[in-house]
Structure 1
């Protein structure tokens, strides 16, 4: 990866030199309906006032609204350099709001999920090793850009002990039609406990192009990702009492004995993705709109998860075929192609038909025979699917529909997704949606091989069937209410086998009902504000296979003000996170999966942070004391059984945008 990054940065240097000629800024201007002014965002002119007056170029000063960010679903926003409470919530390793996720002690480790969303439009099984995928850049996570001048963003945040977290991003339009961007996020952190070093890297290159007549459009990306975690199995049972006692002798977490110190898990992946389309008919006038477009999507992804251990730990994982140099590697190669026909009409709406092919190859490089039974080493084949999409705006309603079906291949699957949204006013909106899905369980639930005897299986589970009804109502910042109700049949999950006491997949033959209600609001009084996020959850499951806390809250009281003649914008306050006790899932490092346990409840501990953030021009500076209440509210906080949550720590960082 280092050679590739060096080569691309080298190319970036020369392309930047060739792009120094002034772009036509008028081609980047957007209408008033497409953009909104932001009082805290401002850009300096690329030249001084005198030179601007001499040149007479009224478009010399680029606007913040012209720096466009285009999502996977083609929703367009613009660069936001403001300092808000949402920026505070997103200033973390994932770079997104992580409400509902419980962090492990070291940055770059996994997260325990406090809530689940069963809306699904996937027709293929997932890879597995889901605990390693929280920071994984999926196709839906990649954004594309269109900017009038080169844009750079630098992100930095301190880590735990030795190391740091940094994220660097650069994008440029060499012409109004062609853009590319480069991003690399890297982390290294030693951690407070023994043998939990993390080292991760996410590299993303994107490009998009449009011909001058706008008939042909292309966009694509390359991602290369690697995630290394030293695994220790958590602290040993005999040290639990010492941790919870709060004895000063044990505040040095490195003295705790862990279950093992000779293992590590490694996830590595690369992906090449391309989307392009051509408008065969592009007829637009004041009375009618008819547009016929042919499109093609192609994506290739190569990924593997590997667990290495120098000597077998039979006390933790059970008996093994070998006593030393254990190595488990599961690989997946997936080549995806989709052909689309899109038709748009101002009366009918937007209609799409598509057909696709998934060529998959998952498995291992060896065949295991155990007790006379052969466990196959590969699952491979072709899946052919068909789908349709529909979109229409009608009398204030925004209607969307989508469906997909596997019609040939070894995996059955289908989904239907429909939604309707309505805006009563600019600040009042409501959305209702329905989703049905039938999907094969993840690959590692169907097939798994290991040097540990009890971690070998080949299953033929029924598809997981889910149905979800969802409703959302939003009114300014005073109300954002989301309620969804899901039913899940044939749910597949991991738990300990009652005989071997080792973790393996099981299928729940009962139907689970799952209700979630999430309320977000913000109350302001002068320069103070109270931001609240409250989630209520209720699960009806006779087998107790889906465990979540009944109540999960986040409340932030903060103060905001301009200082020093508005040269500095300050935000400071306290955030309290809390969730009720429940049977928290345990973590299995060999599988990189969480599994169900119904013996011990965890939770009912507050997590209080103090933050002080400032904005100076385009730089946002963040300072935080995390979990500063740890020493006086009790040492009973865990991210998973045997995995203590983070202690009190002071961290700081910065996000800085540069507009050239």
Structure 2
């Protein structure tokens, strides 16, 4: 199957190149349309259609379709603010878009595609929304503000397919995105994502499905976005390999001279599965009041003056209705694996479950930026209410323990988003009723952009202060082997300050920050929540520096971080990413080729272990302390971009077996996948 697919890919490339090389007798000038409908010559240079000679023979005139124009945008979950994004047409590093460890390898994970993961970079970690059981699946699961909506004058479709390995242990992923506009304001579409990773280690397969239909209306007075998102996440759990020497010292682990492959290494579990389902309906809408004003007009223009709508005030409503379930089952007859048993002590089988439903509404009013020369910033006030209901198992294993929480917050936002030099954004909210009492959250950012000689320099500052309760499942959870009710937990008080310097032409980016946390909440060495009552500090700095000499490129990212208490919050001192490649245009500049190799590396540290029964990363037990890290992961790849098509071929972990593998783990007892050929294809369609 792999050979057949590769053959088709090669034939497709050859065919496209041959087509581009031919001289059309009806088009001797070699003109064509690029991806966005602009007329270009054979070399891809834009040309004015009026400069082309007119063909008197009408039979040779091609009727051109509508040139595609589109833009993408994201919407904030709380206030429904729209941020426009450029369409994704990047041809660089497509080969990294389906790596669970992330584009630059920041994540620890359990080897298989889409398996639970946790960022090694502390500043990249997110608060668990809506539950702690979904956060480890951030590679696949997305929140409303992480989704790209599209407006286009022609139907837009993207199809993407990834594949690696074979039918026994390989992985596949198929993604389909479609969007079409009824008119300039009204659009609808859907997103489909299916992932299936069979796994190179026993009982580690993953099977995920996402469906997300959406509709949007972006008018002068009314803006509305509605999306339904459904997720089903099934992951088999193996608890890791039983002996790290299968990787670290194969000769010592050999049983009677037997050589173990990844698929034959014994694992702790073989009959355990976690299933997580989550669905939400997200609605954001605004109604704007304003006036029309005339646009500037040339002196000799006799056409009627054109007008534009200028919004002054908007009324805001956002709503999110979400329901989620988590279930862990196991028929493994394990003894002495768990410290406690709370439900059915005589039965070794596990059937844990919990459910959540939440409804959040936000109402706001905003005085908009830019309606006159004195309105230099926008000002918003809002109030939000969230109702959350939870179902937990009871010790009698028959009834359910039910919890209900209400939260009411009031808040405001001050933002300047227009202009080129200075932008700022600040939000703050404070709790009034229910569990929200005593909680608050204030955050802001500012960026200053200016020219320095022939370069553009950006200075960015970010800060936040928060005092919030740990999430519900850090305070309450009931299952067969893990059972806690931590009503006594204090609020976490966090402060963070971060600065960033970006120099565009130098391709330099430097950011550094410090965070202080009081009452830091974490999973301790027994895999249950605990608070550290003292102050915990984290220092972090990241330098990204890219170099270029002709077609040769070297991209670099180095992150240093330090935790003031590594026994509570272990972090690697350094995480590195380097990418050496050539980037060139071939075949009359219609084909872009990126050929290279990249490497990921982090220093040794006592990384968090993983508990399958709760799906959480926790501090390693005292009797099972191991270090991971100090081992490079090298990938070699070819990445091609031909018109609207992107293709890559990658040999993942190419250094497997070439050097010693004493620490080739991305999580304790979960080895990195062996050497593996990966391919991917992505098509854009505008019709």
TM-score, length basis structure 1: 0.84
The reply on whether 1:90 has 2:103 as its aligned counterpart is no
Deviation at 1:466, TM superposition (A): 0.9
Checking the alignment, whether the CA contact within 8 Å between 1:132 and 1:267 is kept in structure 2 is: no
Which residue of structure 2 aligns with residue 449 of structure 1?
478
Contact 1:118/1:468, CA 8 A, preserved across alignment: no
TM superposition shift of 1:210: 3.3
CA contact (8 A) 2:288 2:311 kept: no
User: How far off its partner does 1:621 sit?
Assistant: 0.6
> What RMSD over aligned residues (CA atoms) do the two structures have, in Å?
3.2
1:298 is matched with 319
Alignment of 1:299-448 (within 5 A): 299-311=320-332, 313-320=334-341, 321-322=343-344, 323-346=347-370, 347-348=374-375, 349-364=377-392, 366-368=393-395, 377-392=401-416, 396-412=421-437, 413-425=439-451, 427-448=456-477
8 Å contact from structure 1 (residues 165, 186) kept in 2: yes
SS of residue matched to 1:510: strand
Aligned to 2:244, what secondary structure does the other structure show? Answer: helix
The structural deviation recorded for 1:411 is 3.8
Deviation (angstroms), 1:289: 6.3
Q: Does 1:241 align with 2:248?
A: no
Match of 1:208 in 2: 216
Q: In the alignment, does 2:652 pair up with 1:626?
A: yes
Which deviations, in whole Å up to 9, do the C-alpha atoms of 1:364-389 show, x marking residues without a partner?
A: 2x42279xxx9982321321111100
**For 1:58 and 1:217, how far apart are their aligned partners in 2?**
35
Deviates more, 1:280-289 or 1:351-360: 280-289
Aligned-residue offset at 1:187: 1.0
> CA 1:536/1:462 → structure 2, altered by over 3 Å: closer, same or farther?
same
CA deviations on 1:398-432 (whole Å, 9 max, x unpaired) are 12111011110124421111221111137211111
Contact 1:312 1:326 in 2 (8 A): no
**SS of the counterpart of 2:201?**
coil
Q: Secondary structure at the match of 1:314?
A: coil
Indicate the SS of the match to 2:533. Answer: coil
Return the offset for 1:121: 8.9
Structure 2: gaps (5+ residues): 1-35, 37-42, 77-81, 297-308
Contact 2:134 / 2:141 at 8 angstroms: preserved in 1? no
* Alpha carbons 2:476, 2:486 under 8 Å: kept: yes
Residue 624 of structure 1: SS of its match in structure 2? Answer: strand
Shift of 1:656: 1.1
For residues 125 and 58 of structure 2, the distance between their equivalents in structure 1, rounded to whole angstroms, comes to 56
Structure 2 SS opposite 1:140: helix
Structure 1's 251 and 562: CA in aligned 2 closer, same or farther, altered over 3 A? farther
Query: What are the Cα deviations for residues 470-493 of structure 1, in whole angstroms up to 9, with x where unaligned?
Result: 111111152111111111110011
Instruction: Please tell me whether the aligned partners of residues 292 and 343 of structure 1 are also in contact (alpha carbons under 8 angstroms).
Output: yes
Task: Confirm or deny that 1:250 pairs with 2:259.
Answer: yes
Corresponding residue for 1:14?
A: none
- TM value normalised by structure 2: 0.81
Q: Tell me how far apart the structure 2 counterparts of residues 457 and 583 of structure 1 sit (CA, whole Å).
A: 28
How does 1:169-318 map onto structure 2 within 5 Å? Answer: 169-211=177-219, 214-236=220-242, 239-247=243-251, 249-282=258-291, 284=293, 291-311=312-332, 313-318=334-339
Q: CA deviation at 1:566?
A: 2.3
For residues 11-61 of structure 1, the C-alpha deviation after alignment (integer angstroms, 9 at most, x for no partner) is xxxxxxxxxxxxxxxxxxx9xxxxxxxx98999x9xxx9899999999954
Match of 1:639 in 2: 666
Greater Rg, structure 1 or structure 2? 2
C-alpha separation between the residues in 2 aligned to 1:525 and 1:569? 17
- In 2, the alpha carbon distance for the partners of 1:382 and 1:51 equals 74
Contact map agreement 1:81 1:657 (CA 8 A) in 2:
no
Structure 2 CA distance for partners of 1:257 and 1:215, relative to 1, 3 Å: same
Distance 2:45 2:266 in 1: 51
Structure 1 unaligned regions, length at least 5: 1-29, 31-38, 498-502
Pairs aligned (count): 600
Are the aligned partners of 1:104 and 1:646 in contact in 2 as well (CA < 8 Å)?
A: no
Whether the 8 Å contact between 2:44 and 2:589 is mirrored in structure 1 is no
